[in-house]
Amino acid sequence: MCYSARMQLEDYRPRSALTLPITETTNPRFPVIDAHNHLEGYWQQRPVAELVSLLDQAGIFAYVDLDGMWGEEVLNRHLDRYKNAYPERFRVFTGVDWSAWHMEGNQFGERAAARLRQHARRGADGIKIWKDFGIKVRDQTGNLVTIDDTRLDPLWATAGELGLPVMIHIADPVAFFWPLDRYNERYEELTAHPDWHFPSPPFPSFLSLMEALARVVERHPTTSFIGAHVSSYAENLHWVGDLLERCSNYTIDLSARISELGRQPYTARRFFIRYADRILFGTDSTPDLSTYRIYYRFLESEDEYFAYNKGDLPYQGRWMIYGLHLPAQVLQKVYSLNAQRVIFQQPVQ
């Protein structure tokens, strides 16, 4: 095929001319807990023993399933299928049924807290908050519910009382909130997925979401919060680090953000070393050997300029990443020790 000077961007597939070493990271240096992942969908149709075998091959000795969602039927199905069958391998988080707000009104927070107690008795190990909270969830009057709405304080306080961590995802990459123009570094991704675009207005601004999250974490110091996806702000590790400094009840996971972390390797490496006790491993990707091995290569090697996904085109942005080559003691904490403490609530020797 012959391309003119005005070739379509979607057809552009540049091949790097660099000759660089490639580190084969088939297995992680230490056993791993995948603290952010999902098991609804594909793995609901496959034998659980097959999943366990794959996790064994990948070096994953424990796994956090965030798809217990809200509602007894879904939660019970995930608990029975995974945690009850392999109690040492799986933890299952529940969720929030925001639709009940229309019926319960200003009592929603208390009712949600009561349901969380029921789910904890059934075996739920935490609560997952999805990104519709703060962007789309509305109360009984039709008003947008802010992340720091005090009517939800009973829910956060109850999670702390029960010792259940709150995994919270409240925003997507910063560029998802920018205008969709020639300056947007996620232009191709957002063009392919227009429903991922949240420009302000009509949606809240990115920083307003982040600041509201910080207020909630600060207001509930006895509740353990986990900021999913590097606190939804991997583009600004200084901001994330500041919240970690202020709030000892806050940890983060690195899931689905090695594309951001890997393009700022010096800053990211310093961040991981400084906050080695506050970062959890996770992928937010259907369990897959190739994906796990990219994550291990990113964390362990000092390889340069390699793809953060297994496809032929970077799907989040047109850049490559660099390995962090983390020290052994940092790797071990990120891979499993932190999750053992925060989610599995086991003392770390």
CB 185 within 8 A of CB 175: yes
Asked if pLDDT for residue 347 goes beyond 60, the answer is no
Mean pLDDT of the 3-19 span: 81
Count the domains in the chain.
Answer: 1
Residue 3 has a pLDDT of 58
* Identity of the highest mean pLDDT range in 157-161, 188-192, 306-310: 157-161
CATH number at residue 52: 3.20.20.140
Report the SS3 class of residue 168. Answer: strand
Structural domain includes residue 167: yes
Cα separation, 204 vs 137, in Å, equals 12
Structural domain includes residue 332: yes
Residue 255 has a pLDDT of 98
Domain with 49 in it: 30-342
In 75-160, beta strands by DSSP E: 90-94, 126-129
Asked if pLDDT for residue 193 goes beyond 50, the answer is yes
Structural domain includes residue 21: no
pLDDT (tens digit per residue) in 24-61: 899 999 999 999 999 988 888 899 999 999 999 999 99
Structural domain includes residue 18: no
Structural domain includes residue 24: no
Asked if pLDDT for residue 329 goes beyond 60, the answer is yes
Asked if pLDDT for residue 349 goes beyond 50, the answer is no
Structural domain includes residue 2: no
Mean pLDDT of the 306-318 span: 82
Structural domain includes residue 348: no
DSSP letters spanning 289-346:
HHHHHHHHHHHH----SB-SSSSSS-SS-S--B------HHHHHIIIIIHHHHHTS--
pLDDT, greater one: 69 or 39: 39
Average pLDDT, the chain: 94
Structural domain includes residue 14: no
pLDDT (tens digit per residue) in 104-135: 999 999 999 999 999 999 999 999 999 999 99
